[in-house]
Structure 1
Amino acid sequence: MKKNFKSGFVAILGRPNVGKSTLLNQIIGQKIAIMSDKAQTTRNKIQGVYTRDNAQIIFIDTPGIHKPKHALGDFMMKTAYSSLSGVDAVIMVVNATEKLGPGDLFIIERLKEIQQPVYLVINKVDLIEKNQLFEIITKYQEAFDFDQIIPLSALTGDNVDALLEQLIQMMPEGPQYYPADQVMDHPEYFLVAELIREKILMLTREEIPHSVAVQVQSMQKNENDKVEVLATIIVERKSQKGIIIGAQGSMIKKIGHLARRDIEKLLATKVYLDLWVKVQKDWRDRPSNLNDLGYQSDNY
C-alpha cells in the first residue's frame, strides 16, 4: 500500500433527474453514466473511479429513488439502498431549481439510519439567482444535520473540485483498488448497451419511456480492424417496435448513427454497429428477463 494514500467508496443518492450521472461524469472526466432528461435513466449501480497521486475514490451512482411500479423498479430501489452498506460517505444530490419535497424527505428519513458522513450537493446552482441559495441551504439544514453542504453545477464543473477536496480529506488511508487508468468497474459491453439506450431515450421522447432495454450480443474485431457490435433493442409492445424502427428504418438509422459515434469515442476505434429490435412482452415484470438483461441481484 502506498504511504499516506487515501481511498474509499462514496454513494451518490438523490431523486430521479437531479443530475447524479452528470456529476459522476464531471468527476471522472468522461462519460460513464448515461444522461437523459427522463427520470430513472440509471438502472444499475455504476461505479466510477477517480484517481490522483495521493487518493482514489470509487463513486457509486445509483438509480434515482422513487416508488417502484414493477419488478424492474423494485430491483432499482434495492440497488440504490444496497449501495449504502460499506461506503465511507454518502452524497445526497438535490436540484436547486426544485423545492424540498416529499421525495427528498423520503431519502432523508433513510439517511437518518446510517452512520457515515452525509454530504448535501445542491446541483444546478447555475440556474438560480445567488440570493436564493441561502434559503435553499436553510431548508435542508432544518431537515437534516448534513456534514457538509456544497453548492455546485455538475454541468459546468463549477465547485466540483471543492467537493472532491472535502471527500479526500475525510477518506481513510487505504489501498489503490483499481489501476490509475481505469475509470469504471463495468465491462465495455455494458457501457456500449447504455450508450445505445441513451440515444433511444433521447430520440423517441415520450413514446418509449422505460420499456426499452438493450442487450449486446457480441463485440469483436473483424479482419479490417473494425469492432463489430451486434445489439438487440428490446421493447414490450409491437407498436414500440414500429416507433424504434421508424418510417423506412429512419429512426433506427438515427439511433445507430449517434450511438456509433459515442461507441467509437469509448473504444477509440472504428465501429460497425448492427441493431435489431425484438418484442418481449412485459419484460420489466419477469425476473428471468431481468436476469438475462443484466439486472441481476447477485451482483449487488
Structure 2
Amino acid sequence: MDNVEPVSRCGFVAIVGRPNVGKSTLLNHILGQKLSITSRKPQTTRHQVLGIKTEGEVQTIYVDTPGLHLKEQKAINRYMNRAASSALNDVDVVLFLVDRDRWTEEDDLVLRHLQGVECPVILVINKVDRLAEKNALLPLIQQYSEKYKFADIMPVSALRGHNREDLEAMITRYLPEGIHFYPEDQITDRSERFLAAELVREKIMRQLGEEVPYSMTVEIEEFKAGPRLTEISALILVERAGQKKILIGEGGSRLRQIGSEARRDMEKAFDCKVMLRLWVKVKSGWSDDERALQSLGYTEIK
C-alpha cells in the first residue's frame, strides 16, 4: 500500500468579537505563550496582531483584533473599529467569540459586520466553565445558532483550555491546502519593539483606574538589542497633567512598579536581561488626532 503524503495546509483565521470577550486570551493559549496583551478593561487590544502556529503540515495564522464597539467618540475608537472590521477581508475562517451569559448590542454589531462574509464563520462560546447549570449549554447553543448561519459552534474556556484542541482541529478542517507563508519558528509579524510598547501599556491598563488607560499610549524611543542586554526607552503619552501625576505616583512609586512588571515580562519574551527606562509626557488631544495617531503607529486600515 502506498504511503499517503500528509497534506500541507495554511490559512488566515480572524478572531472577532465585542470588547473584553476573551479574544487575546484565546490566542495566547492557542500559541502557548503570551503575544497579545490582556486586562479586564475593554478595548485593551488596539491593533491587529498576527499569531502564527505551525504544527507539522498545518500553519494557522490567527489575526487578533480590537473589540468592535458601538461608540466611536474619538479617532482612536474609529481606528480600532476599522482594524477589527478589516480583518474580515481575505481570511479563510472567522472565529466569532461571544460570552456564555449574555448577548449584547455590540454582539449584534459584530453580526452586522459578518453579513456578506463568504468564508466559514465558527461561533465560539467562551467561558462555559462558569455556567452554573451545565444543562443550560444546549439551549444556549440552539438560541445562538438561530442568529446566523454558522459553519460550526464550539463552546470553550479560553482561560482554562476547555475544548481548545477540539476548536483547533475544527479550524484545520476549513483551512485550504497550500504552502506555508511563514518559517516554522515564527510566531508573529510584529517586532520586539512593538511588543515592548504593548507590555508597558498592559501594566498601565491593569494597574490604573478607568480614566488614564484610555487616554494613554506608549511610544518606544530607543531599542538597542544586545546578546546579553537589551536597552529600551519608552515614552508614555497622556492627555492631561492630572493623568501624568496619577501615572507617576507618589515619589515615582507607580511608574517604578509599572516598569518593574513590564521589564520582567520583556525578559521572558526576549530571553535576555532588559534595562527599561520610562518617561511620561502630556500630549493633549493625541487620541482624537488622525495625524498624531499615524505618527504613533496607529497606521490607517484600508
List aligned pairs for 1:1-300, cutoff 5 A.
4-67=7-70, 68-97=72-101, 99-128=102-131, 129-221=133-225, 225-297=228-300
Amino acid at match of 1:18: V
- How far did residue 74 of structure 1 move? 0.7
3-state SS, counterpart of residue 64 of structure 1: coil
Unaligned runs of 5+ in 2: none
In 2, Cα distance between equivalents of 1:265 and 1:156? 22
Amino acid at match of 1:243: I
- The alignment of Structure 1 onto Structure 2 pairs a total of residues equal to 296
Unaligned runs of 5+ in 1: none
TM-score using structure 2 length: 0.95
Amino acid at match of 2:177: E
- How far did residue 158 of structure 1 move? 1.4
3-state SS, counterpart of residue 210 of structure 2: helix
- How far did residue 4 of structure 1 move? 1.8
- How far did residue 243 of structure 1 move? 0.5
3-state SS, counterpart of residue 205 of structure 1: coil
> Does structure 1 retain, via aligned residues, the 8 Å contact 2:204–2:213?
no
> Does structure 2 retain, via aligned residues, the 8 Å contact 1:235–1:277?
yes
- How far did residue 182 of structure 1 move? 0.9
Amino acid at match of 2:29: Q
Cα displacement string for residues 137-164 of structure 1 (whole angstroms, at most 9, x for unaligned residues): 1221111121100001100111111111
Cα displacement string for residues 205-236 of structure 1 (whole angstroms, at most 9, x for unaligned residues): 224131110011111146x9321110000101
> Does structure 1 retain, via aligned residues, the 8 Å contact 2:13–2:62?
yes
3-state SS, counterpart of residue 156 of structure 1: coil
In 1, Cα distance between equivalents of 2:270 and 2:224? 12
> Does structure 1 retain, via aligned residues, the 8 Å contact 2:69–2:109?
no
| Change in 2 beyond 3 A, CA 1:96/1:291 | same
- How far did residue 92 of structure 1 move? 0.2
Amino acid at match of 2:11: G
The runs of at least 4 aligned residues of structure 1 exceeding 2 Å deviation read none
- How far did residue 187 of structure 1 move? 0.6
Alignment RMSD (CA, Å): 1.4
3-state SS, counterpart of residue 47 of structure 2: coil
Q: Give the percent of matched residue pairs that are identical in Structure 1 and Structure 2.
A: 44
